[in-house]
């Protein structure tokens, strides 16, 4: 499912909203979540999961072209931990 | 403070002009649609944010960390999240305390 398919599916379910409003709302949610993470805040959605930041310590890397070592600074990366309901539903549906 | 569904509903109320009830329903439906797609075995790609991907794991040996007893970890399907380039770049710029 892509973002446009998500917009389509939500428009189907919310016929009282215009397509433009649904598009704006989908973007607003994604922007708000990105903003929270970029400010170092967690996101907690019960039954879905939580997003947080993980720190990657500084390390020595290499320029892949020249092989020259380069110092890479520490950085944060986004991390998602699926919630219980999502884990259980996805796994139950898989029927492995 | 962690961002919650209530904060996202407030954002739809303020920025999109949905009423409070619509905003709350929309946020619920947003996450439910993503769960539905994943449950149906579909990966979810939200450009600019990231991809939710399904991975099928084989059974593997595990251990009860308390008792040391060996127990197999059953085969399962799990959800992983791969942040998109745009989100990674925004988060990399975060210079606050280490998380």
Check residue A68 and give its pLDDT: 93
Check residue B96 and give its pLDDT: 82
- Closest CB to A30 among B22, B49, B96: B49
CA separation for the pair B27, A22 (Å, rounded): 11
Check residue B98 and give its pLDDT: 81
| ipTM of the modeled complex | 0.91
CA separation for the pair A35, B87 (Å, rounded): 9
pLDDT digits (tens, 9 = 90+) for A39-95: 999 999 999 999 999 999 999 999 999 999 999 999 999 999 999 999 999 999 887
Whether the per-residue pLDDT at B43 is higher than 70: the answer is yes
CB contact under 8 A, A75 and B92: yes
Report the pLDDT averaged over residues B91-95: 89
Check residue A96 and give its pLDDT: 56
Report the pLDDT averaged over residues A16-44: 96
Work out the percent of chain B whose per-residue pLDDT is above 90: 91
How distant is the alpha carbon of residue B4 from its chain centre? 13
CA separation for the pair B79, B56 (Å, rounded): 9
Query: Of the given ranges (A34-38, B30-34, B38-42, B62-66), which has the lowest mean pLDDT?
Result: B62-66
pTM for the full model? 0.91
Residues from chain A that touch B94, judged by Cβ atoms under 8 A, are 37-40, 53, 76
């Amino acid at each position: 499912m892509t973002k446009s398919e998500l917009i389509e599916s939500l428009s189907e379910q919310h016929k009282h909203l215009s397509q433009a409003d649904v598009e704006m709302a989908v973007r607003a949610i994604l922007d708000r979540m990105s903003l929270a993470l970029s400010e170092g805040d967690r996101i907690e959605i019960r039954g879905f999961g939580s997003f947080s930041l993980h720190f990657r310590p500084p390390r020595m890397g290499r320029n892949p072209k020249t092989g020259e070592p380069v110092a890479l600074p520490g950085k944060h990366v986004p991390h998602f931990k699926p919630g219980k309901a999502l884990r259980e539903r996805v796994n139950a549906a898989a029927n492995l | 403070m962690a961002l919650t569904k209530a904060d996202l509903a407030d954002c739809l109320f303020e920025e999109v002009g949905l009423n409070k009830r619509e905003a709350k329903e929309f946020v619920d439906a947003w996450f439910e649609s993503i769960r539905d797609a994943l449950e149906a075995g579909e990966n979810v790609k939200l450009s600019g944010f990231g991809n939710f991907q399904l991975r099928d794991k084989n059974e593997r040996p595990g251990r009860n960390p308390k008792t040391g007893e060996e127990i197999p970890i059953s085969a399962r399907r799990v959800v992983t999240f791969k942040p998109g380039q745009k989100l990674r770049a925004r988060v990399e710029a975060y210079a606050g305390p280490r998380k």
